[in-house]
Amino acid sequence: MPAVAGQQQTCGARREKSFDIDVVETTVDLGMGTRFAAWTYGGHLPGPTIEACEGDTITIRVHNKGTTSHGLDSHGLMIDARAYGPVPPGKTLTITKTVETPGVYMYHCSAGPVTDIHIKSGLHGAMIVYPRRPALPAARELVVVEDAVYGARDASGLIPGTDPARTAKNDELFSMFNGRLDNGPVAVAAGDLVRVYFVNVGPATAAVHVVGSIFERVSDGGTEWERNVQTHGVPAGAGATLEFRIPEPGVFPLVDHDKLAFLPYGLSIAFTASGASGSPR
């Protein structure tokens, strides 16, 4: 489960931040005996979470260690689209910009007309721009990136690559949270506030729901919030901040309510609160 530094630490740090990310074409373990010959940022699915604070000037250096041209497009940057590359193998793409709008943003490969296949081969991640103020209430925080794999699994469990015919039809083999088919439970306590920084890579709109809870508030960006939401829609290419409380001891699975067919393949993150700890409210 990707950890975050959070608002307080990120906004307390220096306002010039730089990030070095390698593009690596490698085989990743998805769990449940399945491997995928992926294209990745940093060797993992999803890529590393980029954390910045409103008003920061960020520099992202993308080192293309792959065999074809790759780039990086972050939805949190208001910039000439040509800044996103791509650059050929062996080259580095450098993007510098001040981030002004808080939100949870998708970033992904930018490869001209073949961008879709690059994104769906694994080149995507989350960028969080925290509001500088007000301070967010203390919470258990985690990043959840919903993505999918488009290909066929062979007898050994290997998915040898992305199938362009399937990407063109948004016909995923399965969807995943954080590049895993088998996310383990997250231990919480009754009464805890949980804050999820969610990005939907696609396909389709993620219908994000927590079984047994109701979002206290959700934000699609900026500092505006909507309260008391049972299920929040996050379209492909979007992100949201989702806050909910663990109401009592028990199990509270975060799911995509439009993709419950993938529950047997692990598309769920179970927040589990024991009866012994926490203070129910």
Site for Cu ion, residues 121 to 150, rule: CB under 5 A: 123
How many residues belong to the site for Cu ion (CB under 5 A)? Answer: 5
For residue 109, state whether it binds Cu ion (rule: CB under 5 A): yes
Q: Alpha helix (H) ranges present in the chain?
A: 7-12, 115-120, 164-168
Nearest to 279 by CA among 242, 243, 247: 247
The DSSP code for 247 is -
The token pair at 28 is: 């990743």
| Gap between the Cα atoms of 141 and 9, Å rounded | 13
Nearest approach in angstroms of CB 190 to Cu ion is 44
Nearest approach in angstroms of CB 90 to Cu ion is 14
For residue 87, state whether it binds Cu ion (rule: CB under 5 A): no
For residue 120, state whether it binds Cu ion (rule: CB under 5 A): no
| Gap between the Cα atoms of 210 and 149, Å rounded | 23
Q: Which stretch binds Cu ion (CB under 5 A): 26-34, 109-117, 139-147, 246-254?
A: 109-117
The DSSP code for 45 is S
Burial class (CB in 10 A: 0-12, 13-18, 19+), 162: buried
Compute the half-sphere exposure of residue 71: CA atoms within 13 Å on the CB side of its CA. Answer: 17
Nearest approach in angstroms of CB 109 to Cu ion is 3
| Gap between the Cα atoms of 64 and 69, Å rounded | 7
The correct pick among 10, 48, 70, 267 for binding Cu ion (CB under 5 A) is 70
| Gap between the Cα atoms of 167 and 149, Å rounded | 9
Which H or E run contains 243?
strand 238-245
Q: Which is nearer to Cu ion, 27 or 101 (CB)?
A: 27
Q: Which is nearer to Cu ion, 71 or 253 (CB)?
A: 71
Do 92 and 50 meet the contact criterion of CB atoms below 8 Å apart? no
Nearest approach in angstroms of CB 121 to Cu ion is 8
Do 189 and 246 meet the contact criterion of CB atoms below 8 Å apart? yes
For residue 72, state whether it binds Cu ion (rule: CB under 5 A): no
Q: How many CB atoms lie within 10 A of CB 65?
A: 15
Nearest approach in angstroms of CB 273 to Cu ion is 41
For residue 108, state whether it binds Cu ion (rule: CB under 5 A): no
The correct pick among 75, 108, 118, 232 for binding Cu ion (CB under 5 A) is 118
For residue 62, state whether it binds Cu ion (rule: CB under 5 A): no
Q: Which is nearer to Cu ion, 63 or 217 (CB)?
A: 63
Nearest approach in angstroms of CB 239 to Cu ion is 20
For residue 273, state whether it binds Cu ion (rule: CB under 5 A): no
Q: Which is nearer to Cu ion, 64 or 219 (CB)?
A: 64
For residue 117, state whether it binds Cu ion (rule: CB under 5 A): no
The token pair at 188 is: 């919480």
For residue 119, state whether it binds Cu ion (rule: CB under 5 A): no
The correct pick among 111, 194, 218, 254 for binding Cu ion (CB under 5 A) is 111
| Gap between the Cα atoms of 268 and 251, Å rounded | 12
Which residues make up the interface to Cu ion (CB under 5 A)? 70, 109, 111, 118, 123
